[in-house]
Amino acid sequence: MAKINGSDAMLKVLYDWGIDHIYGFPGGSFDSSMNAIYDFRDKMKFIEVRHEEAGSLAASAEYKLTGKLGVCFGSAGPGAAHLFNGLYDAKYDKTPMVAIVANVPTSRQDIDFFQAFDEDKWFLDASVWCASAKTADLIPVLTDEAIRQAYARKGPAVLIIPKDYGWQKIEDNFRVNKDAKPEANYPAPTKTSVDEAIKLINEAKNPVVYFGNGAKDASEELKEFSDKYKMPLLSSYLGKGVVEDAFPAYMGTIGRIGPKPANEVQSYADLVVWVGNNSPFSLLWFNKDTKVIQIDVDEAKFGKRHSVDVSMLADSKKSLRALIDAGEEKAETPLYKAALADRENWDAWHESFKDSDEMPVRPEPIFDVINKEADDDAIFAIDVGNVNVDHTRLLKMHDDQKWTTSGLHATMGYGAPAALTAATVYPDREVWNLAGDGGFAMMSQELLTMARYNMHILNVVFTNETLGYIQAEQEDESHQPLSGVIIPDNNWAKVAEGMNVKGVVVRTKKEFEDAVKEFKKMDGPMLIDIKYTHEMPYSTELNTLSDPAFVEKYQAEALKPFSYFAEKYGVEADAASGASEHEEESAEEVVETDTSSGASRH
């Protein structure tokens, strides 16, 4: 039987699974696998990133965008250590991926050798499956197992390969059986759970829907359910885009980064239809006595974030369809009318600034251009920071547009690597990397990768000279002097030009619009450095429109508190939640919720 190098056998397994590219950065301990990558140069594309963290974040982003796992690698020691952010991002966001990690030759292990570590101990916590090849013959077997475990456990799998095993000849007799992997087939809800849920829906005065990324395949059902039962739709941040932003009953995401209506409406709910959502910050929302119908395919999620009255261990799409078919259409409730009016007021307030000539430029003019110019199938790689606030409030997702970010791990620097992924797997689609200057600085070297492979990526850097998200926490939550958040201005266009990427500095809406149109006519990557407002986004945590200083700070004279709409439409204060028809939460009350965690409330 023919012989094959261990590392070639590894790549053969990846290729047979339909994986045609791999992200990484060479290292001496990975030479045997780099030789295999050369041998497979006509079958697999090697995306040579400039930092291993970029490779791991790119691999994590791949499943989020495509539903197919990505693969990255790192060499022994520092190359392996650089993978951790991407691995934890994948683990927290339940994203299948595979990381190949090199180790020093077996003859150099356990003797305090150069770059030698007990790597399996390192990666146990950062992965859902971790194994080190004990023989060269096991390399293809374990590669296949890593892929299967990543898919099955929905997270990162780590395979460690000693350098000498990668060179060793083994019999070429391993064949994958990927076609045996079944398609997901989650159950329908039981009739008992449907009947119990309909009873609660009929009794509720202020019902809402709270959905997450687990409802990503149920967009039409969510909208039909909302229309039939007159329930406002609220989501987690990762649920943005499941329902197009233009849908009138979609209030947006709850939480610090979300819009005002979503945060206000949730406090009035007496019933929540909780669909495919595991946001940890939902512990902070909805009164403890609010009734909950929870729909999920993971039994461990039930009751984790809130007490549950009806549990539906079932597919979100099938469950919503069953509930739609089982009940009678409801008339518009006062809460539903008030919620839609509140959103209209919020949207109109933002719209009033879209042609603002304030300097430095406000967010609304910039996102007005993005909303008008981005292709209907554009892909947005969203970094971490205040850009999440602007994205969720101002970017109007529609049609076949996709987006991705670092969700629960929330690692800054995610945008550029995710953009690399988008350009690799969707080479014919328009890719936008939206990042603050703080986050972009962390992975800015990946401009070199974009230039090297001539990727059509538009990098939009919002330069406001501060770590804005942290600044707002220090100002609004802990009320401390600004510490460590101010960063120097930088000409990112010049940086880009030095890395062979077209760079432009803009200060106005017109300049930004012209730059975007220039990008659309060119090949390859571009960077637009926007000299952006230093003002913080509207604080939905404080949301004290009764305070003249708050109104003046955010130019919020045209905004009305939800109590105005609640009174106008006769919303009943729910006895369970204790929501007031006339009072807005004070700044002190909001601050007391969580001043010590430092958590970014996505």
Q: What pLDDT was estimated at residue 111?
A: 67
* pLDDT, position 477: 86
Distance CA 146, CA 515 (A): 44
Give the model's pLDDT for residue 110. 67
- Cβ neighbours for 489, distance < 8 A, ≥ 6 positions apart: 463, 465
pLDDT, one tens digit per residue, over 9-49 is 999 999 999 999 999 999 988 899 999 999 999 999 999 99
Nearest residue to 561 via CA among 591, 526, 592, 585 = 585
- HSE-CB at 376 with a 13 A cutoff on CA atoms is 2
* pLDDT for residue 104: 80
Half-sphere exposure of 493 (CA within 13 A, CB side): 10
pLDDT given for residue 179 in this prediction: 85
> What local confidence, expressed as pLDDT, does residue 284 receive?
87
Per-residue model confidence (pLDDT) at position 92: 95
Spatial CB neighbours of 287, under 8 Å, sequence gap ≥ 6 = 267, 269, 574, 576, 577, 578, 579
Low-confidence ranges of the chain (pLDDT < 70): 106-111, 113-116, 574-602
Amino acid letter at 335? L
Q: Which domains does the chain have, with CATH numbers?
A: 3-180 (3.40.50.970), 191-332 (3.40.50.1220), 354-531 (3.40.50.970)
pLDDT given at position 114: 58
pLDDT tens across 43-83, in order? 999 999 999 999 999 999 999 999 999 999 999 889 999 99
Sequential DSSP letters for 485-515:
-B-----HHHHHHHTT-EEEEE-SHHHHHHH
Q: What confidence score (pLDDT) does residue 162 get?
A: 93
What is the per-residue pLDDT for 358?
Answer: 95
What letter does residue 320 receive in the DSSP assignment? Answer: H
pTM of the shown model:
0.92
Q: What is the pLDDT of residue 47?
A: 98
Instruction: Determine the Cα–Cα distance for residues 227 and 247; give it in Å rounded to an integer.
Output: 10
